[in-house]
Chains A and B, each alone.
Chain A
Amino acid sequence: MFKLIRHSDESVSRRVCVVGIGDGGSRAVAGVLGGGSGEGCTIAVINVDPVALENSKAMTKVLIGRHGPADGGAGGDPAVGKAAAERDIEMIHGLLSDCDVLIMAVALGGGTGTGAAPVVLAAAREAGILTLVMTTTPFAFEGEFRNRIAREGLQTVTAMADFVSVIPNDRLVSGVGSEGGMAALFARADEILAAGICSLWQMVAKPMLIGVDAGGLRALAGKGSGACLFGFGTASGVGRGLHAVKALLEGPVLEKGASLRSCGAALVCVAGSYDMTLHEVGDAFSAVCGALPADCDIQVGTVVNEGWDDRILITVYVADRRRTVTPAPRAGGGRRTEPAAPMPASGSRSKAKTAAQGELMFDAPAGSRGRFVNIPATILDGEDLDTPTFKRRGIVLEK
C-alpha cells in the first residue's frame, strides 16, 4: 500500500526554527550547522550554562535561568530546568515569534533539556506553531535515575508535540565496537540526532519531488502509540544508494532492521544531491519497503538538496503497532524487557523480535488524558489507565 502524496506547489516556504535545548540538544544542533544544511532557517540553542552557549556555533543563543537556582547548570533536575525556562518565557516567546515550524532537539534525561522542553513546546503550541521533536534517551549505563527522568520527559513531550521521534541511545552501544571509546559513543549519538533534525527540516522546508509533509508526520504519529523510532543511512560515491540502504538496515538504532519488520506504519524519505537518479531512488525505496511488513502503512518522499555534493541520505520513521504496548518497566533493572512480538506478516522473517521498546511507547494520544496530561501515565497490563475506561472499551454514551 504505497501512498504517493502529491506535492503541492507552494512557493511560500515555511519559516523553520531549529532549537537545541540543553547540552545534548545544543551539540546536535551544532552538528546540523557542521553538516552545512542550516541555510534558510533560524538555528537556536537554549541552555542554562553560559559557557556551553558561548562555545556553540548557533546563530541565536538563549540563556535561561540566569540569577535563578539554575544559574550555571540545572544539576540534573528537570524542575530546575523547567523553572528556568518559565522564568525566561519572554525570551522563548521572542525566539518563536516569527516561525511556523519548530524543530526541537533534546537529549532527555538531564535537567535543562527535559525540564525546559515542555515549556518551550507549550509556548509554541500557544502560538499555533507546528512542533516536531527529535529526542534521545540515555544510555543504560547512565543509570536508572536519568532513565526514569527521560521516560517521564518523553511522555510529557509526546503528549505535547505534534510529532516526536526517539533514538534510544542504548542501542548504539551494540553499534560501536570495543575500539570506540565513550567519546565516540556520545559523538555518534549527537550525529544521529543531528541527522534526524536535518531530515525533519528537509521534509518541512524543502520543496519535495515526491512529497511527505508535516501532515504526513502527524498522521504517522497518530498511527502509532507514541513516539516514533528513527533510523538513517547515508553514503556517497559509486553505489551510494545501496550503501545507504545497507547502512540504514544494519544500523543499531533500528536494531539491524528488526524495528522495521515489526512496525505498523512508516515514513521513508530519500534525500540526495542534485545528481541523484531515479534508479537510485527507486532501488532505495524498494529495498527499504521490502524490509517493512506487507500490511504496513507506508509513506514515501524524496527531496533534492542543492547544497550537497554526491550524497544520498535515507531516513525512516517508524511507528509501532497500537495495542501491542507493554507496561513501563519495573524500576531497577538496567535492561528493559522487550514486549511480546506481534507477528510480522512476512513469513520467512517471522522470528524477528519486535524492536519497539516498551517504555518508549505510550498509548496516549493527546487530548484523551485530560488532567493527567503532564504526569507519568498509569500503565497496567499494557493499558494506559489514564485514558477513560469508557473510551478504551468503546462504550457509546447516550446523549
Chain B
Amino acid sequence: MIPVVALEIGTSKTVALVGEMREDGSLMITGRGEHPSAGVKKGEITDPEGAANGAKKALMDAENGANVDINEVVLAITGGHIRSSVYNGTAPVCAPDGTICEDDMEEVQELARAVSLPADRDMIHTINQRYSVDDHEPVENPEGMVGAKLSLDILGFHGVRSILMTAHRTVERIQMAVQDTVFSGLAAALSVLTPEQKRSGAVVIDLGAGTTDYVAYAGGVIACGGSLAVGGDHVTNDIMLAFNIPQIRAEKIKKEHGRALVSDHVEPPRLSLPAELGFPVNVVNLRSLHVVVHARMEETLLKIRRRLEEVDVLSRLGGGVYLTGGGANMKDITELATSVLGVPCFVGRPRHVLSLKKGVDGPEYATCCGLLEYTFRTRDPQSDEPKSILGSLMKTLLGRR
C-alpha cells in the first residue's frame, strides 16, 4: 500500500508522520518529523510563513526517515470555530410497495447533506447517524424495510472558511498538496477508541496546547464534537501571570511540576528557580502552582462537560472517557477528569501503532496517528483510491469493521 503522510500543525509543535497500513490492520510508522510551531495561536494559523517553515522542517525529517518523496499530506484542522450540528434529510420511499432500496438511502443522505451553512462556513465532515422509517425507532440499515417515509440524521462538522483556507494555503506554500483535511478531535478518537468502545459510548478529549477538542460516541453514533479555544497555553499563561515568570520558565515548571489536583502536603513546598541572565531568582510555592493548574483544568473540563450534557452524552457512556494530547501527560489529570465528568477517565493512546522509534504511541500522537488511520480506512484497499461513497466511511468511523 502507498504510504500516507499526516501533518498536524499544532499550536506548540508541528508533527509529520509517514505511515503504512499492514495486512493485519496495524499502522507502521516509517518516518517521523517534529518541529516547534511558529505562527499558530489557539489552533489557528496566524502567520502562514512561520507555520509553513515549521511544517517544511517536520516533513523533511519525516521524508528522510521514511525514505520517500512527500508531495501530498493529510492535514489536521482544529480551532474554536469548529462546531458540529445534526441535520436531517427526509423523503418519501420511491417503490410503490414501500420497500426501501439503496436509492432511497442515497437520496435522504443527499438531502441531509444539502444543508445551507452560514455564508462564511464550510463543511469539513458529514457523518451518518441513524435512519428512521416512518418516525419509528432509529435503525442502522433500513434497506429492505417497508415504510412510506425514510429519514436520516447526519452530523456535520463545519468551520470558518477563511481559517480553513489559511491552513490549506499554508501547506501549499511549501509545494505540498492537501489530500484531505480531518478535524483533530475526530482523528484522535479514531486512533484511540476500539470498535467496542465506540459501540458502547465513549468520549475522546484531546488536550492540545491551543485548543481542547472533543468527540463523543453515544448510542452507536458520533453524537457531537467540537473544539474550545482553551488549552495548555492557557495553563502556561496562568502560571506566568501568577508567579510573574517568563513564558519559557512557566512552560518548564508546568511540565515538571504541574498537577491537576491539589494536595495538602507538597514536598518540597517551594521551588527555587535558579537565576538566569536577566531574570531574578524566583521562588514558586508548589501548592499555589497546583491551585493555578487545577483551577484552569477543572474549568476547561467543566466547559466540555457542559457541551456533552447539551446532547445528553454522559449518561450513555459505557466505554469511558479517553484523554489525549500533550495535556494527557499531566499528573493527576485522569483523576480530575473522573471527578469532574463523573465517568471513568483514562489516558488514550494510539492503537495498533508500530514504530522503530520510541514514543509514537504516546497520547500526544493520537491526532497524527488518527489522520493515517482515517485515510487508510476511507481508502479502497483494491484501488488505493479514496472510496466514493460515504457509507463505508461511516462504518469505519462507527467501528463496524
> Which A residues form the contact surface with B (CB < 8 A)?
144-145, 148, 330-333, 368-372, 375-376, 378, 380-381, 385-386, 388-391, 393, 395, 397-399
Contacts and interface: CB of A to CB of B under 8 A. Distances in A.
B76 interface: no
A378 B234 CA distance: 10
Nearest to B240: A370
Given A378-B42, A378-B229, A380-B303, A390 B291 contact: yes
Q: Is chain A's interface secondary structure helix, strand, loop, or mixed overall?
A: loop
A388 B41 contact: no
Contacts of B41: 372, 375
B119 A397 contact: no
A397 B285 contact: yes
A391 B296 contact: no
Contact of B120 (A145, A371, A389, A395): A145
Given A145-B162, A331-B121, A375-B42, A397 B233 contact: no
Interface residues of B, number: 34
B241 A333 contact: no
26 contacts: A148-B120, A332-B120, A368-B241, A371-B233, A371-B236, A371-B237, A371-B240, A372-B41, A372-B234, A375-B42, A378-B42, A385-B228, A385-B234, A388-B238, A388-B241, A388-B292, A388-B296, A389-B299, A390-B238, A390-B242, A390-B296, A393-B295, A397-B242, A397-B285, A398-B287, A399-B288
A391 B241 contact: yes
Contact of B285 (A389, A395, A398): A398
Given A331-B81, A398-B287, A375 B46 contact: yes
A333 to B, nearest CB: 7
B399 interface: no
Interface string B300-317: 000100100000000000
A386 B162 contact: no
Given A378-B228, A378-B230, A388-B242, A395 B291 contact: yes
B219 interface: no
B118 A333 contact: yes
B80 interface: yes
A227 B303 CA distance: 27
Contacts of B353: none
A337 B238 CA distance: 31
Nearest to A368: B241
B288 A398 contact: yes
Contacts of A389: 238, 292, 295-296, 298-299
Contacts of B233: 371-372
B237 A331 contact: no
Contacts of B118: 144, 330-333
Contacts of A144: 118-120
A386 B285 contact: no
A386 B42 CA distance: 11
B329 interface: no
Contacts of A397: 242, 285, 288, 291-292
Nearest to A388: B238
A395 B80 CA distance: 27
A382 B111 CA distance: 36
Interface in B32-64: 41-42, 46
A332 B119 CA distance: 6
Given A332-B119, A385-B229, A390-B292, 14 more contacts: A144-B119, A331-B118, A332-B121, A333-B118, A371-B237, A371-B240, A371-B247, A372-B41, A381-B303, A385-B234, A393-B295, A395-B295, A398-B287, A398-B288
Nearest to A375: B41
B178 interface: no
B152 to A, nearest CB: 24
Contacts of B81: 331
Interface in B246-286: 247, 285
Contacts of A369: 237
B394 interface: no
Contacts of B119: 144, 332
A376 B210 CA distance: 13
Interface in B303-341: 303, 306
Closest 5 CB pairs of A and B: A332-B118, A388-B238, A389-B295, A397-B288, A378-B229
B146 interface: no
Contacts of A391: 241
B287 A331 contact: no
A183 B288 CA distance: 59
Contacts of A331: 81, 118, 120-121, 160
Contacts of B291: 390, 395, 397
